[in-house]
Amino acid sequence: MPVPDAVNRFSAPADAPLLVVLGSLNMDVVVRVPHAPAAGETLHGRSIDHLPGGKGGNQAVGCARQGGAVRMLGCVGADAHGTALRDALARDGIDTDGVRVAPATPTGVALVMVEDSGQNRIVVIPGANAAVQVAPDVLRTQLAGAAFLVLQFETPLDQVGLAMEVAAQAGCKVLLNPSPMQALPEAFWPRIDTLVVNELEAQMLSGLPVAGIADAAVAARALLSRGPVRVVVTLGGEGAVAADADGCRHHAALRVKAVDTTAAGDTFLGTLAVSLARGETFDAAVQLGIRAAALCIGRPGAQPSIPSRDEVLASPVPPAPLALP
Ligand code: RIB
């Protein structure tokens, strides 16, 4: 499909690590409001925009802008939103051959309400994302030479499971962001290389209370014992806890004025994935993720707010991580 005004600003060099992202593609309908309306309240919004989003698409863009070579697998409808989302990915140099166009289903849409504080509230209408299908042969071909398969939970869980199975057979590492949260089938655990969860997801998956850094470390250790090689619990303004066989560390967040928190987690994840694929240490990869997320939070929109590698490398460096007991 021709890509109007294709720029491929972030096309990867020949030695770039390859990442395959299987996930959702949404057109984000973003409404800026002074505050979220209460039940029965009507208020004037400040603006409305249609911006490319979806956790899968955002994470693919996050990987591409950090210099990864990226293949996107997903599904859009045969409509203007679907065309716009594919074109947006292609402009970032992402291979969209694995994005299927479903003839009779509309492209996924996310209604995103952003308050002046930068906090958001999101409702997703999955549309074509619910029609994502993993063809094992195609996935096997797509995974050849890939450092990571990146997965989230905005596409059907059985297809996520199937993709993990194929990745295991192909010897490709899996980075899972189980968002929006659902219980993880037992078979998933041993197949996860890197698990990235927020506080709420850590609490639900571990069954332990998670309120703050110390709790997050206890939950991260519990999650690590289920099979993953690495676990990250992201804590918003409190940074992140990273856990692996060497123990648990706390990474502080950078102080930024929040304009829009949408896609901050996806930006963190894409940066983490590419950095690990490049051979950075786990802690260095988490730090780069925190720097990228801080830049994202200071800008509006999902994909438009995701920074390039040069921007991340020029950004402030957070303090060194602290070992947790
Ligand atoms: O993670 C942010 C994304 O969640 C938004 O872009 C929206 O599409 C929803 O999927």
pLDDT of residue 6: 39
The Cβ-side half-sphere exposure at 223, using a 13 Å CA radius, reads 39
Tokens of 195: 């698990």
pLDDT of residue 149: 98
- Which residue lies with its CA nearest to atom 7 of ligand 1? 54
Tokens of 54: 């979806």
**82 CB within 6 A, ligand 1:** no
Q: What is the largest CA-CA distance in the chain?
A: 55
**Cβ–Cβ < 8 Å for 153, 180:** yes
Q: Is 244 a catalytic residue?
A: no
From the candidates 87, 266, 283, 310, give the one annotated as an active-site residue: 266
**177 CB within 6 A, ligand 1:** no
The model's pLDDT over 115-160, given as tens digits with 9 standing for 90+, comes to 999 889 999 999 999 999 999 999 999 999 999 999 999 999 999 9
| Average per-residue pLDDT for the chain | 95
Q: Is the pLDDT of residue 9 over 50?
A: no
Ligand 1 atom with minimal separation from the 302 CA: 6
**124 CB within 6 A, ligand 1:** yes
pTM of the full predicted structure?
Answer: 0.95
Taking residues 3-18, report their average pLDDT: 63
Distance 247 CA to ligand 1 centre (A): 31
pLDDT of residue 251: 98
As a dihedral over the C-alpha atoms of residue 308, residue 313, residue 317, residue 321, rounded to 10 degrees, the angle is 90
CATH code for 18-324? 3.40.1190.20
The model's pLDDT over 26-46, given as tens digits with 9 standing for 90+, comes to 999 999 999 999 999 999 999
Please state, for a pLDDT cut of 90, what percent of the chain lies above it: 94
Provide the residue type at 301 as one letter: G
Q: Is the pLDDT of residue 5 over 70?
A: no
Give 83's contacts (C-beta < 8 A, 6+ positions apart): 1, 76
**55 CB within 6 A, ligand 1:** yes
**61 CB within 6 A, ligand 1:** no
Domain ranges of the chain: 18-324
- Which residue lies with its CA nearest to atom 6 of ligand 1? 53
Provide the residue type at 240 as one letter: A
- Smallest CA-to-CA distance from 268 within 201, 177, 178, 204 is with 177
Could you tell me the end-to-end alpha-carbon distance of the chain, in angstroms, rounded to an integer?
A: 54
Q: Is 191 annotated as a binding residue?
A: no
Q: Is the pLDDT of residue 219 over 80?
A: yes
Q: Which ranges of 207-255 would DSSP assign to H, the alpha helix?
A: 213-224
**The Cα angle at residue 69 between residues 64 and 72, in degrees rounded to 5:** 75
